[in-house]
Homo-oligomer: A and B are copies of this chain.
Amino acid sequence: MRVETHIERFTQPLYLESGRILEPYELIYETYGQLNEDKSNVIVVCHALTGSHHAAGRYEGERKAGWWDSVIGDGKAIDTRQFFVICVNVIGSCFGSTGPMSPKYPSGKAYRLQFPVITVSDMVKAQINLFDRLGIHHAHAVIGGSMGGMQALCFAIEHPRFSKRHIMLASTYATQPWAIAFNKVAREAIIKDPAFNEGEYDPKVIKEEGFNGLSIGRMSGHISYLSPTSMEDKFGKVYDEKDGLYDLFGKYQVEKYLDYNSRNFVTWFDPLSYLYITKAINIFDARRNYDSLEDSLSRIVSKITLISFKADMLFLPHEMKYIEETMHKIGKADLTEYTEIDSDYGHDAFLVEIPKFEKIIIDALEQ
């Protein structure tokens, strides 16, 4: 599989949903496979909150492959012998696309809290600009899980003729209070940590010394990505061997896991990006700027495949089901396919339970 990473710089303004302007901006993206002559084999993969453009393959010396490496590759569900896959790091993120720690023109100083609030629509708009520049005006499919699914839905509604198919996994039509509440814990933990310093933290210092607020926020996220059953399966009620049961700070395996996975988070993710992207997720609502979900979905003219997971505790299956129901209601049943995957894993099932849904992706891409 051929993997390439590129950065594109845009000097024309990006008009944001908020009325503000992002200018200039850069987008980092990765491609897998080869673009065919008539540019008809493009699949756009959209990433989630802490994901990046590095969706597949493994860089030299890298411990883990890209976040959807089990799905994208030669002979995999998204077969890179056939398709040319593009994954773009969203604006607001911290892996190379313009975000709050990027230099603001003309001062060259980081935006920090001056960075404009961005929305899922803005993330998609920026991607469309990139595809335009690459001469890609149509895609075979747009696909994504979680916030990536929101982007896929946004492509379908706001750029209805861009892609022939849209596949959403573990996502929603509008972020509900339950998910906003998990984000709230994380956002408060970040903002209230003295190390945040009203956004004026030194990125190098927090990477070295840690940032408790971001770690605690990550823990809150982790709960919502798993499920009671997946935690029982993963950790049981096993206490750390080295800790005393009656030691106030002794730990269960689940606590050690949360510690371990949250402590290092600051070494690869930026607190301000976390605030800006969770904001975009919180205010995501496919009904905004339309009269209703019926109204917004009525713009869809291509196939939409919805995949939910039974034990998803972040975006519940009924939220995806509601998209299907609404599509039926507005006479677009023929464009809609909904499947609830029987999985106990929780939200992260879209990242790990590939064998349970890859056939749906393969079929959707063929139809």
Query: Residues on A close to B: CB < 8 A?
Result: 17-20, 113, 116-117, 119, 174-178, 180-182, 184-185, 188-189, 191-192, 194, 212, 215-216, 219-220, 222-223, 226-228, 231-232, 234-237, 239, 245-249, 252-255, 258, 275-276, 279, 282-283, 285, 313, 316
Instruction: List residues of chain B with CB within 8 A of the CB of A181.
Output: 219, 222-223, 226, 231, 254-255, 258
In contact, B178 and A231 (Cβ under 8 angstroms) = yes
In contact, B228 and A176 (Cβ under 8 angstroms) = yes
Which residue of chain B lies nearest to A254 when distances are taken between CB atoms in the complex?
Answer: B177
In contact, A228 and B178 (Cβ under 8 angstroms) = yes
**What does DSSP make chain A's interface, helix, strand, loop or mixed?**
helix
Instruction: List residues of chain B with CB within 8 A of the CB of A17.
Output: 246
In contact, A237 and B188 (Cβ under 8 angstroms) = no
In contact, B276 and A248 (Cβ under 8 angstroms) = yes
Instruction: List residues of chain B with CB within 8 A of the CB of A185.
Output: 185, 216, 219-220, 223, 258
**Contact flag A188-B176 (CB < 8 Å), given A181-B231, A248-B276:** no
| Choice from B113, B116, B182, B222 contacting A223 with Cβ under 8 Å | B182
Besides A178-B228, A185-B220, A194-B194, 9 other A-B contacts (C-beta < 8 A): A177-B234, A177-B237, A177-B252, A177-B254, A181-B258, A184-B258, A228-B316, A237-B285, A248-B276
Which residue of chain B lies nearest to A19 when distances are taken between CB atoms in the complex?
Answer: B246
Instruction: List residues of chain B with CB within 8 A of the CB of A226.
Output: 178, 181
Which residue of chain B lies nearest to A210 when distances are taken between CB atoms in the complex?
Answer: B192
A276 CB to nearest B CB, Å? 7
Q: List 12 A-B contacts (CB under 8 A).
A: A18-B245, A20-B246, A176-B232, A177-B232, A178-B231, A181-B222, A185-B216, A191-B249, A246-B283, A248-B275, A248-B276, A252-B282
Q: A-B pairs with the 5 shortest C-beta distances?
A: A18-B246, A177-B254, A177-B231, A178-B228, A192-B212
